Amino acid sequence: MTAPAPHDITLVIPVADRPRHLSDCLHTLLELRRRYPYAGKVAVLVAEDSLDAGSIDQHRAIAAAVTAQGIAVHHLGPDEQRALVAALPEETRAHLAGIIGDGHSYAHKGASITRNIAYLWLRQRMQDGHRQLIWFLDSDQEFRVNLATAGGEEEQYAVDYLNGLDQIFSTTSARILTGKVVGDPPVSPAVMAGNFLDDVMAFLVDMARCAPHAACSFHAARRPADDAAYHDMADMFGFKAAEAFRYHCGLCGRHDHAACFQDFAARLGRFFDGEHPTRRSVYQPAELRGTITPARTIYTGNYVFTPQGLDYFIPFAALKLRMAGPTLGRIIKAELGAGFVSANLPMLHRRTVEALGQSEFRPGIERAQARVDLSGEFERQYFGDVMLFSMERLTALGYPAASLTEDAMARTVAEVAAEMHARYGLKHRQIVAKIAQLRSLYESAAGWWQQGAELAAARQLFEQFIANMENNFGDEARAWQQVNDASHRQARIAAIIEAIRHYPADRSAWRDALGLNYAR
């Protein structure tokens, strides 16, 4: 019996004003193909969401350059996206506004809407009966992993992604697979502030015991972080909160504690772009088939599906909430059961560009010189958690297959919202206390780092970090003012309830628009 041909794989990468990230991502794909040949066809769709015209031009040029090197990359620009949406009947466009946007703007419309528009493009190119896979990624990821070695972290092409995915979808009943990331965490700084403050304080306590010009002693083996180690509210996901992590110095060659202190101070600001200098996950090699487990969440930066998976657009996209993937995952789990799996196929996640010391673009973050404002991202995270845990309870009641009353939906969301407000409020009080403890510890006269002109720049970076923590997580933080404002909270909750109520109709309109007439 002849073995089936390998799957053709289309990789989809939404991108917003990130040419350096996109270039790194695609060039590591070229190197992956060189190291691990794959017999099936491999193509890439770059789905544009940039505001800056220069970024769009650079993304288009990167796509053309990679195409010339052997992997076909199609750049789905704003005009082509507009044409895709305009080709739908007017009534359909109105029904799908919460999924693909209202058509007024194709810049910074959000990753979820951009992914859903990409689904329209993909559907036009799917061939019935053909073995195909669709792989959605994020632009700040690379086709390699980091491994813990005796000399520290090393980045390697250690995973044969393409052949591995072909094997999984050829030998199992998987229809949708989610991977994960290693390196920088996939979560927002909004839910990492408490544990990072613990780690910064632990660093200062350890430093205070060291002589500034003695040889650096911060080179013990890095403690690997599991999937929940960097999340302040890991208990919500069934994990135990981790104790403080010690900093692993990244400097090479002979250097002293003062140099280590300066290097750590330079990394503090990257936290606001999503790096976690003390808690990094590393790849744990394992036999691929043995890592397949039932899934309950989608990581939107690394998920793969067969063409039938186009049925599962990113829901509630117009709300622009974080946690869209986990929310979708709860729906998929309720409907697909064993067809929804996770596997140990992580990608290297790099939040910042080394030359910039920060991300090229990150929605919900505003910068004014040294001041960083995370309130936009914080607000999206907070109400994304309300949506996620509301969906978890609703799917336990049979949603979306079962018809629930509007009262039942509204009551569930209201209950979750009240619980989330209490949880976040408790965490807020703890973080306020930790910021005060950190300031006291840092400003202590016993701290040798308070002396010496050579540490002036490092002191300034520490002071900026503490000021930004106060600005974003203190009692007067704009983020807390938003989520504590009763009228704003009520409006967001009402929008969430309406979106959940309307989801079955959205699903029906979507399936009609894409011609997805098979049974769920």
- What are phi and psi for residue 311, nearest 5 degrees? -60, -25
Burial of 456 (C-beta count, 10 Å sphere; 0-12/13-18/19+): exposed
| Sheet of strand 72-76: strand arrangement | 72-76, 42-48, 8-15, 132-137, 302-305, 176-178, 340-342, 293-294
| pLDDT at res. 484 | 92
Domain ranges (residues) in the chain: 189-280+366-496
| pLDDT at res. 31 | 98
| pLDDT at res. 518 | 47
pLDDT in tens, the chain (520 residues): 567 889 999 999 999 999 999 999 999 999 999 999 999 999 999 999 999 999 999 999 999 999 999 999 999 999 999 999 999 999 999 999 999 998 888 999 999 999 999 999 999 988 767 799 999 999 999 999 999 887 778 999 999 999 999 999 999 999 999 999 999 998 899 999 999 999 999 999 999 999 999 999 999 877 777 667 788 787 776 666 668 899 999 899 999 999 999 999 999 999 999 999 999 889 999 888 789 999 999 999 999 999 999 999 999 999 999 999 999 999 999 999 999 999 999 999 999 887 777 778 777 788 887 899 999 999 999 999 999 999 999 999 999 998 899 999 999 999 999 999 999 999 999 999 999 999 999 999 889 999 999 999 999 999 999 999 999 999 999 999 999 999 999 999 999 999 999 999 999 999 999 987 644 4
CA 428/CA 423 separation, integer angstroms: 9
What is the H or E stretch that residue 34 is in?
helix 19-35
| pLDDT at res. 353 | 82
Query: Which of 87, 85, 90 lies closest to 117 in space, CA to CA?
Result: 85
CA 124/CA 514 separation, integer angstroms: 8
Burial of 19 (C-beta count, 10 Å sphere; 0-12/13-18/19+): buried
DSSP code for 104: S
| pLDDT at res. 519 | 41
CA 179/CA 349 separation, integer angstroms: 12
Which pTM does this prediction carry?
0.92
Identity of the amino acid at 273: D
Token digits of residue 366: 């505003």
Cβ–Cβ < 8 Å for 373, 471: yes
| pLDDT at res. 153 | 83
